[in-house]
Amino acid sequence: MLSFVAQRIVKGVFVLLAIIVMNFFLIRLAPGDPAAVMAGEAGASDAQFVQQLREKFSLDKPLPEQLFIYVKGVVTLDLGFSFRQQMPVAKLIAERLPATLLLTLTAFGISLLLGITFGTLAARFAGTWADTAITVSALLFYATPIFWVALMSILLFSVYLGWLPSFGYETIGGNYTGWAHVKDVALHLVMPAMTIGLFFMATYTRMTRASMLEVKRLDFVKTARAKGLRDNIIQRRHVLRNALLPVVTLAGVHSGTLVGGAVLTETVFAWPGIGRLLYEALLQRDYNLLLGVFVVCSAMVLIFNLVTDLVYRLVDPRIEFAS
Amino acid sequence: MKKFWKAMLRNPGGLIGLVIIFIAIFIALFGQMIFPNSPWRMVQRPFLPPFTNPMVTLGTDALGRDVFAGLIYGARVSLLVGLVSTTVALTIGVPVGAIAGYFGGKVDDALMRFTEFFQTIPSFPLAIVLVAILQPSIYSIVGSIAIVSWPPVARLVRGEVLSLRTREYVQAAIVTGQSNTWIISREILPNALSPVIVLASLMVANAILLESSLSFLGLGDPNLMSWGYMVGAGRTVIRQAWWITVFPGIAILISVLGMNLIGEGLNDALNPRLAKDSR
Amino acid sequence: MTVAPAVSIKNLKIALPKSAERPYAVDGVSIDLIPGEIVCVVGESGSGKSMCAHALMGLLPDTVTTETGEVLFEGRNLLKLDESGWREVRGRGIAMVFQEPMTALNPLMRIGEQMMEMFEAHNLLTPKERRAKALSLAKEVGLPDPERIIRAYPHQLSGGQRQRAMIAMALALEPSVLVADEPTTALDVTTQAQILKLIRNLQRSRNMAVMFITHDFGVVADIADRVVVLRHGKIVEEGSIDAVFKNPQHDYTKALLAAVPSMHPPVRAPLDENARAVEVIGLDKTYVTSGGWFKPDRRVQAANEVTFSIMQGETVGLVGESGSGKSSVARLVMRLIEADRGTVRIGDVDLTALEGKALRAQRHRIQMIFQDPFASLNPRRRVGQIITDGPIARGTDPKVAMQRARDLLGMVGLDAGSLDRYPHEFSGGQRQRLGIARALAMDPEIIVADEAVSALDVSVQAQVLKLLEDLKARLGLSMLFITHDLRVAAQICDRIAVMQRGVIVELKPTAQLFASPEHPYTRELLGAVPGQSSPSQAA
């Protein structure tokens, strides 16, 4: 178990290093002077800052040395300086990260719970109207662009019904404390979380349904029936437990998409997370910040993948650790 | 082949998907001849609501541009990006997967490490970074979507090839003295095709979504009207003019749905065993 | 027949879906199961024997419908039961053991938990008592180290242990009827012998009625009290074991019995004078699975100093259980996998020293016939292409190759019209004939047959074996014949090599091996072959 975690962490560090190296070359792909590119376009940079950057990144030195200096910087959590925001990139990200974690983890939890529930229902009542209703809605949500769902829910719940706040993390100037603050944040969280959640809920619903129908056919389910077990015990203990394995795998694979969804959702709802930060960096062509956020997103995905792998190993006894 | 079409057409979802995509392709090919209104030109007063002027059925946007014309022109971009980027992703993913799966050993290790690396990077942020740095254009969009979508192809093809390679008819081809190229192209790939076709149709859907998301964030090709761009442009005025965001969104939804339905129909038609219970 | 039957199946008719090739899976079958008696239901694939078993448990697939008939058990007609009525009967009144113990156990649950479910399903005992019961059951079916086994997961057990666990489960509630659906088919012959003995003993001590489904007449001879022969869903013959084996009435039964290969090898002329067709010297092959960072690698030795030769015109058998390395040796000889050490010589060419083009140029001399008639032909190529691909790659003119293919089809007993058809249009036996034609098209000197008849029904198996023998004699071929079935080996091999864990433990002329086996493993293997005590073979 420990050796597995150690192995995976080392592997993850290598992937992260590779991403950092890739970043280094990406900046050099952009047309123009890399220093100017890093400083940001459209008059955001003054000559002095560009000169600073040039020295900082040793752009006058040979490429391998530049690379080494760059990687060393990132490894020591120095992600550079955002001229536009007048703050170190690392600090900016650290400020915004909690909001993104709150949003993505809530969305992930909701979607997994509802997805598995609906998927199970659909599989149990396969062929009935309930199955059709669930399958068709899952298909629709699966095909709907996240940013559009976000806009449509604003239109419905904020503009027409006036139930929910349409942007931000908390009411500006509300100055709530204690439970009132929690409630305020929760109200702001509902729409962004549901927006991301709907897409993933659809994904997990489809996967759970398909997987359950597949497992239902397997021999050990027949064995369970031959024992005289009740149907709901068979479904829960034998079918669902086995059917969830591919869902866990899928959850790991989709962690990257989850982060991508956060970028779009945070942009629409002005949710102060790193997704929104990425959008701001994009608008201002603030490449240093953009790449910083990108590295952090990748790290998040790596951690999430590690966790899902661990969970998989815990639920499936057939996989031995370190093999 | 006949059987396949029969199965595909018997599947109501697949049939609907085929009809949707057929219409979308028709619009993309001939729409601009039938509705020559440029989507960039101001044709009416700004914020004209839909269904009030028969000349501009779906109303106008904040600059008085025809929303309907935008939909027609946008179809071309969506489908083009979807199809071309998927083709590019397949031309990367299929050889990588086939070589890794067939030769195994160190080649496999190296190629799969490479693939895993790309699969771990969150795809949408990577696409954003690539397009932003390479400057938004139809080429950078297609390229970046292809780069983020080939890894699943490689993994799927590798898995299929790995299992087909030990299949007895492949061993029979080896012992009758066939060359590696012959075996991969004649014995293995044709039999690995069906899951790849299914995946490809789902990838087109995904690429359409990715393209619209990029355009929504302002990373679309500035010279081409696209649905994502329209939604993005209309979002600040959503309280005054809902139609600017609603119609292009529906267009995206329908075409993605169409491709997904085709994917499912193909899956059912190509794997008849699974189809039986799922209905 | 003074004892009342535990279960009576009366005039059972099970209808297949409309698209099936015949209307009824089971067509008017009546069987009585009497306490203390084992009834074997025998038939070839598609005879409907498995359907009968599933009907007894109410576990028929949704695609079929029971049209008429009754299953009488304790005064009730089971076919009239609702789901909760069935639950009452399943496990408690009638229990079942399935064919494939690996897939019949839930991979995510411990063995003990799965046994305890049996009591839970019928609300019996407290959890603690259930645990104790599971342990004693594990002991009763002879599972080693029961304390550990009930905490283990299915994948940690061997095939035989898994089947014992399944049997323990089935016996948990002391059912009066046990249904066993091919319970030993997936097992090795020595394990099979043990499981058969176990079932026999348990049935005796508990006075159960047993319905035993099998396709193997050897097994029938060892275990049955009564035999029911099924064909196309109908009973063609029924009677006591002695009556059916000694004096079969129906032609089909006679044919089936005649098709079972005998344990007595026919007399064969020695071939020592002939030149050597193949020489295998000191083949080593070890599979290494990397154990990761902190665990040692896992090593499986598939071939250890394997040495033998095949004379021209000779058939050498390679016999062993699963995991003995016999298939690996076949693939090493074919150069489908690379040996760690050793030489394979064909005539005077060292096959192991060749690479690339030079190797491909020699490959035609040694050809292979595969086990699985469904996996050995590319489903997307026509028969004509399948047969001619090899010769064309060697430079034969396509027209000539096609003409040759036509002749070959005739040779293996198929008509020339088959050339334009796809493999799925053929039956298992026909596909195996196609596989033979493909191998012969290369004009080989040696044929390697890897379990080439194992997947076939016994009557088809006999035909294909005969075909192989004829062709071999006619074309002067040599053959390496890999099989797990000693009966088949007895009939076709000049000499037999017995393999165990990668080592050839004994290599002798067939008659000598059967008459005086020396190695203990050879003796165990020979002793485990089912059906040696049967009335028909006794003489």
User: Which chain B residues are Cβ-neighbours of A154 within 8 angstroms?
Assistant: 238
What CATH number did the domain enclosing A100 receive? 1.10.3720.10
Do the chains contact at A257 and B124, CB–CB below 8 Å?
A: yes
Judged by CB atoms closer than 8 Å, whether chains meet at A31 and B135 is answered as yes
DSSP codes of every residue in C261-281:
PPSSPPP----TTSPEEEEEE
Q: Cα–Cα–Cα angle for A63, A69, A74, nearest 5°? A: 125
Q: H or E element: which one contains C101? A: helix C101-104
CATH code for position C41 = 3.40.50.300
pLDDT bracket for residue A283 (50, 70, 90): confident
Please state the rounded mean pLDDT for residues A301-323: 79
Tens digit of pLDDT per residue, chain C (539 long)? Answer: 568 899 999 999 999 888 777 889 999 999 999 999 999 999 988 888 999 999 999 999 888 889 889 999 988 999 989 989 999 999 999 999 998 888 999 999 999 999 999 999 999 989 999 999 999 999 999 999 999 999 999 999 988 999 999 999 999 999 999 999 999 988 899 999 999 999 999 999 999 999 999 999 999 999 999 999 999 999 999 999 999 999 999 999 998 898 888 888 888 887 777 888 999 999 999 988 766 666 677 788 899 999 999 999 999 999 999 889 999 999 999 999 999 999 999 988 999 999 888 999 999 999 999 988 888 999 889 999 999 999 999 989 999 999 999 999 998 989 888 899 999 889 888 999 999 999 999 999 999 999 988 888 888 898 899 999 999 989 989 999 999 999 999 999 999 999 999 999 999 999 999 999 999 999 999 999 988 865 444 33
* Contact criterion met (CB < 8 Å) for C91 and A226: yes
pLDDT of B62 over the 70 cut? yes
Nearest chain C residue to B173 by CA: give it: C390
**Interface pTM, i.e. ipTM:** 0.87
Higher pLDDT, residue C508 or A39: C508
Average pLDDT rounded to a whole number, residues A182-196: 92
Cβ of B191 within 8 Å of Cβ of C380? The answer is yes
B233: Cβ contacts below 8 Å, ≥ 6 apart: B61, B62, B244
Residue C291 forms contact with A (CB below 8 Å):
yes
First-to-last alpha carbon distance for chain B, in angstroms, is 23
Taking an 8 Å cut-off on Cβ atoms, the answer to whether B176 and C376 are in contact is no
Nearest chain A residue to C88 by CA distance is A228
Domain enclosing residue A157, as ranges:
96-315
A: neighbours with 3+ CB pairs under 8 Å? B, C
Quote the domain boundaries for residue C114: 8-258
Total of domains in chain C: 1
Q: How far is C88 from chain A (nearest CA, A)?
A: 6
Position A193 in a domain:
yes
Cβ of residue A76 closer than 8 Å to a chain C Cβ: no
A295 part of a folded domain: yes
Partner residue opposite C90 with nearest CB, options A7, A218, A228 = A228
**SS3 (DSSP) at C227:** strand
Q: What is the pLDDT of residues A251-268, one digit of tens each?
A: 888 888 888 999 999 999
* Residue C370 to chain A, least CA–CA distance (Å): 27
Task: Give the position of tokens 């050597």.
Answer: C276
- CA angle A110-B239-A160, nearest 5°? 60
Judged on CB neighbours under 10 Å (0-12, 13-18, 19+), C107 is middle
CB contact under 8 A, C370 and B168: yes
Which amino acid appears at position A70 of this protein?
Y
- C402 is a domain residue: no
B245 contact partners, CB below 8 Å, separation of at least 6:
A148, A151, A152, A155, B230, B231, B234, B235, B238
Integer CA distances (angstroms), B49 to B59, B241, B243, B247, C172, in order: 5, 7, 7, 12, 75
Which of B120, B231, B278 is facing A213, going by the closest CB pair? B278
A319 Cβ under 8 Å from any chain C Cβ: no
Q: Domain for residue A3, yes or no?
A: no
**Do the chains contact at A323 and C291, CB–CB below 8 Å?**
yes
In chain C, residues with a C-beta closer than 8 Å to the C-beta of B190 are: 380
* Contact residues, chain B, for A207 at CB < 8 Å: none
What number of CA atoms fall less than 13 Å from residue C483's CA on the CB side? 25
Query: C90 contacts in A (CB within 8 Å)?
Result: 225-228
B190/chain C closest Cα distance in angstroms? 8
**Residue C140, exposed/middle/buried by CB under 10 A (0-12, 13-18, 19+)?**
middle
Q: A41, A151, A217: best mutation site toward chain B, by most B Cβ within 10 Å?
A: A151
Give chain A positions within 8 Å (CB) of B135. 30-31
Give me C281's structure tokens: 């010297």
Antiparallel, parallel or unpaired: β A87-88 and A81-82: antiparallel
Q: Which chain A residues have a beta carbon less than 8 Å from that of B232?
A: 147
C88 near A CB under 8 A = yes
Q: Which residues contact C318 (CB under 8 A, 6 or more apart)?
A: C326, C329, C330, C480, C481, C482, C483, C496, C497, C499
| Residue C398: per-residue pLDDT | 94
pLDDT at C243: 92
Residue of B nearest to A15 (CA): B117
* Per-residue pLDDT at B172 exceeds 80: yes
- A86 belongs to a structural domain: no
Judged by DSSP in three states, B24 sits in: helix
Interface of C with A in 198-237 (CB under 8 A): none
Q: A25-43: buried (b, 16+ CB within 10 Å) or exposed (e) per residue? A: ebbeebeeebbbbbbbeee
> Which helix H or strand E contains C196, and what residues bound it?
helix C189-206
* Two structure tokens written together for C144: 């080693």
Q: What is the dihedral of CA B46, B48, B49, B52, to 10 degrees?
A: -170
The residue of chain C with its CA nearest to that of A215 is C106
Q: Do B238 and A151 touch (CB under 8 A)?
A: yes
| 3-state secondary structure string across chain A | CHHHHHHHHHHHHHHHHHHHHHHHHHHHHCCCCHHHHHHCCCCCCCHHHHHHHHHHCCCCCCHHHHHHHHHHHHHCCCCCEECCCCEEHHHHHHHHHHHHHHHHHHHHHHHHHHHHHHHHHHHHCCCCHHHHHHHHHHHHHHHCCHHHHHHHHHHHHHHHCCCCCCCCCCCCCCCCCHHHHHHHHHHHHHHHHHHHHHHHHHHHHHHHHHHHHHHHCCHHHHHHHHCCCCHHHHHHHHHHHHHHHHHHHHHHHCHHHHHHHHHHHHHHHCCCCHHHHHHHHHHCCCHHHHHHHHHHHHHHHHHHHHHHHHHHHHHCCCCCCCC
Dump the DSSP string for C487-525: HHHHHH-SEEEEEETTEEEEEEEHHHHHHS--SHHHHHH
Task: Give the other-Cβ count within 10 Å of C410's Cβ.
Answer: 12
**Which of B6, B103, B165, B175 has the highest number of chain C CBs within 10 A, making it the mutation to test binding with C?**
B175
Name the minimum distance, in Å, from the CA of C352 to any CA of chain B. Answer: 14
Q: Which of residues 129-158 of B touch A (CB under 8 A)?
A: 129-130, 132-135
Write the CA distances from C142 to A32, C167, C188, C445, integer angstroms: 78, 11, 17, 49
Using CB atoms, pick whichever of B177, B178, B190 lies closest to residue C380.
B190
A294, closest residue in chain B (CA to CA): B125
**Domain count of the fold of chain A:** 1
Q: What pLDDT sits at residue C497?
A: 95
Q: Is B231 on the interface with A (CB under 8 A)?
A: yes
Which of C190, C475, C452 lies closest to C330 in space, CA to CA?
C452
Q: Which residues pair with C368 in a beta bridge?
A: C448
Average pLDDT, integer, range A111-118: 95
In chain A, what residues touch B129 (CB-CB under 8 Å)?
26, 290-291, 294
How many percent of chain B have pLDDT more than 90? Answer: 52
Q: Which residue is associated with the tokens 């969305």?
A: A107
Report, as an integer, the average pLDDT of A111-115. Answer: 95
Contacts of C255 (CB under 8 A, 6+ apart): C459
Residue A232, in any domain of the structure: yes
**Pick from C333, C352, C307, C276: which is nearest to C499 by CA?**
C307
DSSP assignment, residue C260? S
- Output phi, psi for B4, to 5 deg: -60, -50
Structural Rg of chain A based on CA atoms: 24
Looking at beta carbons, which residues of chain A come within 8 Å of B116?
15
Is pLDDT at A83 greater than 80 in this prediction?
Answer: no
Residue B275 confidence (pLDDT) above 60: no
Q: What is the DSSP string of B191-245?
A: HHHHHHHHHHHHHHHHHHHHHHHHHHTT-S-TTS--HHHHHHHHGGGTTT-HHHH
From chain C, the residues in CB contact with B182 under 8 A are 393
Both tokens of residue B94? 């299929």
Which residues does residue C288 pair with via DSSP β-bridges, in sequence order?
Answer: C299
The answer to whether residue C76 is domain-embedded is yes
Chain A residues touching residue B199 (CB < 8 angstroms): none
Residue B236 confidence (pLDDT) above 90: no
- Return the H-helix or E-strand segment holding C309: strand C298-311
Whether A217 and chain C come into contact, CB under 8 Å, resolves to: no
Nearest residue on chain B to A14, alpha-carbon basis: B117
Which one of B169, B174, B177 has the shortest CB-CB distance to C378?
Answer: B169
How far lies A120's CA from each of A113, A136, A209, A291, in Å? Answer: 11, 15, 6, 41
The verdict on a CB contact (< 8 Å) between C106 and A224 is: yes
Record: contact C293-A227, CB cut-off 8 A: no
Residue C163 resides in a domain: yes
Cβ–Cβ < 8 Å for B125, B138: no
User: Least CA distance to C99: which residue of chain A?
Assistant: A219
**Residue C407 distance to chain A (closest CA, Å):** 45
Per the CB < 8 A criterion, the answer to whether C228 and C17 are in contact is no
pLDDT for B208 beyond 90:
yes
